[in-house]
Amino acid sequence: MEETPQSAADVEPSGRLGLRLASWYAVVFVMTSLAIVLLTYRLLAASLEERDQQLVISTLREYSQRYAEGGLGSLAEAVDIEQRSGRQERLFVRVVRGQSQTLFLSAPNAFSDFDVSRLRGLSGLEQVLSQTGSARLEVASARLADGTLLQVGKSTEIREALLARFRYVLTIVALVIVAVGLAGGAVVTRSTLQPIRRLISAVRGIIRTGRINERVPVRAERDAIDELSALFNEMLDRITTLIRGMEHALDNVAHDLRTPMTRLRGVAERALQSDDVQAQREALVTCLEESERILAMLETLMDISEAETGTMRLEMSDAAVASIVEDVVELYEIVAEDKHIEVSTNVEPGLTVPADARRLRQVLANLVDNAIKYTPSGGRVSVSARREGAVVRCDISDTGVGIPPHDLPHIWERFYRSDRARMQSASGSGLGLALVKELTEAMGGSVSVESTPGKGSCFTVAVPRATDLAPNSSASRRRKPSARPTPALAKKSQVTSG
């Protein structure tokens, strides 16, 4: 068992695919999660800022009211009550007259950090940065009825501290997300690729060991990978059947060639040992006959496989059925007479069929040959042809031995001969009906048989009448390989291949 150098390279593609899948998963997961985290932070910051600004503006409105109602004293009292209540964070409140005369100021110590002299008293929110730059004072101003300026402000310090804490927590969350994303990517990829890896290793095992009988395991869950594995197994089944069929066909050819070749050698050896010129001549004639038989068998085999694979060149034309039947019957006249078999024909006049005349003759000749061969002396064979719907139907029937039901499914296989046929007739290769079937199907037709043992058989060839039916249609190639071992070959190919 040889370890191929490619095996390391073979692992890589699935590994690389795994890495790619894991990266994609991690990137998509992490990016989505981070986007959500970022959005949450932004929304929180915006809502905190809005809440602070609302507070400043509503407080400014409230204090303006107080000032309008009760003057500075009332305002100072309200500020005092508010600050002592401790309900909320302390605000910056200032009342200024003119440019810089401060009439009232309420500011916690922390506010000393801001340079409030820079406030201009503009409408809207003004901002003053703290000296350390870590916080801002957001101030809203309102001009009161007596011309003084009321300012209410709030430091962003607490808000910033809250957001800083939130940022810290979010950073940790983001790190966890990245870690989970990477780990999740690895786990998901691993579980996704595992069946593929199993398939790869099973296939590699089969290739390495050459054990084509082994199969890839298919799980009960049946996902896409199992479907692929099942298909792969099915393909292996088909290949195995094909290989077995080819082996059988080869066995049969080898077996059937050995007999005539041995005979040939025996005849030649005997002729060489003999000094009789006449005997040598006869031996040469026998050798010639044997070699012709072998050639005919090989030719028939090639015809079958050409017709089966669709590579046979057919010369399609409107073939006159009556003339073909006449030719065939004439060819077998003497044989039939010798056996005292009556051959009758009944062909519809003027009947033509789109077919290769030579091949159609070959088909009918094979069937008539069989009919005469398998009919005992004194029997009858009839050949008839007529239109039937969209086809031309030719029946070749005999009053012969018939075909036992268990032989019927096999008679179309290459080299198949029934036991009785083998015992009864030395001639015959078991290729005749295989050729009949493949040729008929190559011409777009079909062939069938009905038979009663002891009474006779009727073979029917149906060829479509319409010329648009392409020859070599796909039906002709839907054959399963013949898997039957058979012996013997004989005259059949000789008779048919001309």
Residues that bind ligand ADP (CB under 6 A): 370-371, 374, 398, 400-403, 407, 411, 416-418, 421, 428-434, 457, 492
308-311: Cβ within 8 A, 24+ apart: 308/438, 308/442, 308/476, 308/477, 308/479, 309/477, 310/442, 310/472, 310/476, 310/477
List, in order, residues 6 or more apart from 119 with CB less than 8 Å away: 126, 128, 139, 141, 151
Q: Which is nearer to ligand ADP, 253 or 268 (CB)?
A: 253
In angstroms, what is the minimal distance from the CB of 441 to ligand ADP? 15
SS3 content of the chain, % helix, strand, coil (to 5): 60, 15, 25
- Shortest separation between residue 414's beta carbon and ligand ADP, angstroms: 8
Beta bridge partners of 379: none
Q: How far is the CB of 357 from ligand ADP (least distance, A)?
A: 21
Q: Which is nearer to ligand ADP, 264 or 433 (CB)?
A: 433
Smallest separation (angstroms) from ligand ADP to the CB of 238: 25
* Burial status of residue 249 (CB atoms within 10 A of its CB: 0-12, 13-18, 19 or more): buried
The residue (of 269 and 333) whose beta carbon lies closer to ligand ADP is: 333
Determine the Cα–Cα distance for residues 229 and 221; give it in Å rounded to an integer: 12
Least distance between ligand ADP and beta carbon 343 (Å): 13
**Of residues 221 and 419, the one with the C-beta less far from ligand ADP:** 419
Distance CA(407)–CA(102), nearest Å, equals 123
* Least distance between ligand ADP and beta carbon 273 (Å): 34
CB atoms within 10 A of CB 383: 24
Tokens at 426, concatenated: 């030395």
Q: Report the residue number, 267 or 435, with the smaller CB distance to ligand ADP.
A: 435
Q: How far is the CB of 370 from ligand ADP (least distance, A)?
A: 3
Distance CA 343, CA 363 (A): 17
CB nearer to ligand ADP: give 89 or 306. 306
Which runs of consecutive H residues, i.e. helices, occur in 119-223? 157-209
313-330 burial, b if ≥16 CB within 10 A, otherwise e? ebebeebebeebbeebbe
Closest by Cα among 438, 18, 342 to 192: 18
Residue with smaller CB distance to ligand ADP, 135 or 411 = 411
* Cβ closest to ligand ADP, residue 106 vs residue 370: 370
Q: How far is the CB of 379 from ligand ADP (least distance, A)?
A: 10
